[in-house]
Amino acid sequence: MSAQLIIRPLAPADYDGWRPLWDGYNAFYQRSGPTALPEEITQATWHRFLDPAEPVHALVATDAGRIVGLAHLVFHRSTTRLHDVCYLQDLFTAPDLRGLGIGRRLIEGVYDAARNAGSSRVYWQTHTGNAAGRALYDKVARHLGFIVYSHEL
């Protein structure tokens, strides 16, 4: 990795660099092969990132023109705050470049984007088995002890 790591908003021309990272992120969470997300979800997600009316946004990390990381964020209202909050929904870096600070820089980019949007908090969740991710998250945020429950409809 060069010293030219740039964190920036996703652009329409980024699809070919974004897609392998998106697929890698989904594979990490066992969404590949027979359990892969339907292609229509990936395509809808991509188009939402490019629609200024959507609350869903994406940042990418680039190094020498290569997309080496992604962060997807969603701005939404909260019942406990006056200002929107930012949910960091997805964070992923190229496996061959892990441990070089890309994830931290992406999180800092999300913090900047949220601050610029007037958000009062950034939060996210991860799987308990994501030891490498949790080691980073413990350095850049506070774990508040919440457990996530989910029910598919």
Residue 118: which region, alpha, beta or left (left: phi > 0; alpha: psi -120 to 50)?
left
Half-sphere exposure of 59 (CA within 13 A, CB side): 27
- The single-letter code of the amino acid at 132 is A
pLDDT digits over 12-67, tens only? 999 999 999 999 999 988 898 888 899 999 999 999 999 999 999 999 999 999 99
Q: Where are the beta strands (DSSP E) in 82-123?
A: 85-93, 122-123
pLDDT digits over 110-124, tens only? 999 999 999 999 999
28's CB contacts (< 8 A; 6+ apart) are 92
Half-sphere exposure of 80 (CA within 13 A, CB side): 2
pTM of the model: 0.93
> What pLDDT is stored for residue 2 in this prediction?
60
CB 107 within 8 Å of CB 123: no
> What pLDDT is stored for residue 34 in this prediction?
87
For 25, the token pair is 């992120």
Question: What distance in Å separates the CA atoms of residue 83 and residue 109, rounded to the nearest whole number?
Answer: 19
Helix axes 15-28, 39-49, angle to 10 degrees: 130
